Structure 1
Amino acid sequence: MAGSTVIACLRYRDAPAAITWLCTSFGFVERLVVAEKDGGIAHAQLSLGTGMVMLGSVRDNDYGRLLRQPDETGGLGTQGLYLVVEDVDAVYARAVAAGAVIVLPLKDEDYGGRGFTCRDPEGHLWSIGSYDPWT
């Protein structure tokens, strides 16, 4: 099996814009994007190294009613994602240039590695760092 056995799933109000932002800011690559006639995204797979996130447009369906978006919780997240990257400073610069809201500054961590935490344009929480728990 290639890749991760755990894949994060996200919903966005403007999924096409989120896909562009995630690829530009964090370096994700589109593997599959299934667009809907209304301009939404039925399903998308974005990869980064051996990891992946799947995402789609916010929908009022059985699964969609189980989720809340950050703008519905006062900006509080119910989960966060962590990306392992080689060049944290470069990703930080791209994220800032793309308008990421930095919530924890770029710094060297006591446990090793370097990282920062930000929110994407719809408020989802992302931590990006060079610390790799697999090594």
Structure 2
Amino acid sequence: MDEDEKEMLFEAHARLANNRDKKPPPGFYDVADEDRPIELNKFPTTIEELEGERRRRVDKEARLRKQDAARNKIAQMQDAPSAILQANKLNDPETVKKRSKLNLPARLIPDHELEAIAKIGIASDLMEE
């Protein structure tokens, strides 16, 4: 018998042994802990459960946003003069940078050479047709 046939016979023998409630033969590994129930993660199974989680998250985020806004407001009230100076700096038209002129490098090919290249291209197009 070849290896595949031996493996099929071994699997069939194991299945028959399991059907007759016979214990598996002792092996290399301890299987005593395999009878304990497996702890599964509980995922929301209904739309209501899912919506409840979403609402809790949205409520928490809204609460945190309100806290941040209150903290920012308190910080601005405590440091009002520097906040006003900073706002004035941002709104000052002199501090806004204007774009400089675009400076391109000098051309490497003079006009008469560009015209010659264009003529050559037009002539080659006419010859192809």
Is TM (by shorter chain) over 0.5? Answer: no
Structure exhibiting the larger radius of gyration computed from Cα positions: 2
**Which protein has the bigger strand share?**
1
**Which protein has the bigger helix share?**
2
TM-score, length basis structure 2: 0.16
TM-score, length basis structure 1: 0.16
Q: Which has the higher contact order (CA 8 A, sep 6+)?
A: 1
